[in-house]
Structure 1
Amino acid sequence: MPLSQKAVARCRRCRLLPAILLGLWAAVSNRHQPLAAVGMSPPTTPYSLPHRAVIWDVDGTLVESTSLGLRGTNAVLKKNGHPEITEAEYKDGTRFPTGERFGFHISGNPKDPAAPRLGKEFDDHYVQLVSLETAPLFPGLGELLRELRSRGVRFGAVSNACTAYVRAALAANDLSDLFECQLGADEVSAAKPAPDGLLKCCQAMGVEPADCAYIGDAPTDGLAAKAAGMRGIGVSWGSHSSDSLAPAFPELVKTVEELGKALLP
Structure 2
Amino acid sequence: MTDLRLLIFDVDGTLVDSQAEIMAAMQMAFAGEGIVMPARDAVLSIVGLSLDHAFRRLSPASDDNAQGRLVAGYKDAFGALRTQDKELGPLFPGAREVLEVLKAQDDTLLAVATGKSRRGLDKVLERHGLTGIFHSEQVADDHPSKPNPSMILTALNETGVEPQRTVMLGDTTYDMDMARAAGVRTIGVSWGYHPSEDLHPDILIDDFAALPGAFDQLTKAS
Deviations along 1:35-61, whole A, 9 cap, x unmatched? Answer: xxxxxxxxxxx94xxx62211100000
2:87 aligned with 1:133, yes or no?
yes
| Counterpart for residue 55 of structure 2 | 102
Hey, what does 2:178 align to over in structure 1? 224
Distance change in 2, residues 1:116/1:232 (3 Å): farther
Whether contact under 8 Å (1:99, 1:117) holds in the other structure is no
Aligned-partner residue type, residue 71 of structure 1: A
Tell me what 1:13 maps to: none
Q: Percent identity?
A: 28
CA contact (8 A) 1:78 1:84 kept: yes
Equivalent-residue separation in structure 1 for 2:80 and 2:132 (angstroms): 21
Partners of 2:9 and 2:49 lie apart in 1 by 17
More contact order relative to length (CA 8 Å, sep ≥ 6): 2
Q: How far is 1:76 from its partner?
A: 0.6
- Tell me which amino acid in the other structure corresponds to 2:209: E
Call closer, same or farther: CA 1:210–1:143 in 2, change over 3 Å. same
Secondary structure (helix, strand or coil) at the match of 1:237 reads coil
Q: How many residues align?
A: 212
| Equivalent residues of 1:160, 1:191 under 8 A apart | yes
Confirm or deny that 1:88 pairs with 2:45: no
Corresponding letter in the other structure for 2:10: D
The counterpart of 1:262, out of the listed 206, 214, 222, is: 214
Does the CA contact (< 8 Å) of 2:116 and 2:139 recur in 1? yes
Q: TM-score, normalised by structure 1?
A: 0.73
Q: Distance in 2 between matches of 1:129 and 1:205?
A: 34
Residues of 2 paired with 1:258 and 1:211: CA distance? 18
Quick check: 1:186 aligned with 2:141?
Answer: yes
Structure 2: unaligned runs, 5 residues or longer: 218-222
> Where in structure 1 are there 5+ consecutive unaligned residues?
1-45
Match status 1:170 vs 2:125 = yes
CA distance in 2, matches of 1:177, 1:128: 25
- How large is the Cα RMSD of the aligned pairs? 2.2
Q: Is the radius of gyration larger for structure 1 or structure 2?
A: 1
* CA pair 117-206 structure 1, distance change in 2 beyond 3 A: farther
Q: Tell me, yes or no, if structure 1 residue 56 matches structure 2 residue 9.
A: yes
| Counterpart in the other structure of 1:203 | 157
- Segments of 4+ in structure 1 off by > 3 A? 127-132
- Normalised to the residue count of structure 2, the TM-score between the two structures is 0.86
Match of 2:116 among 161, 178, 181: 161
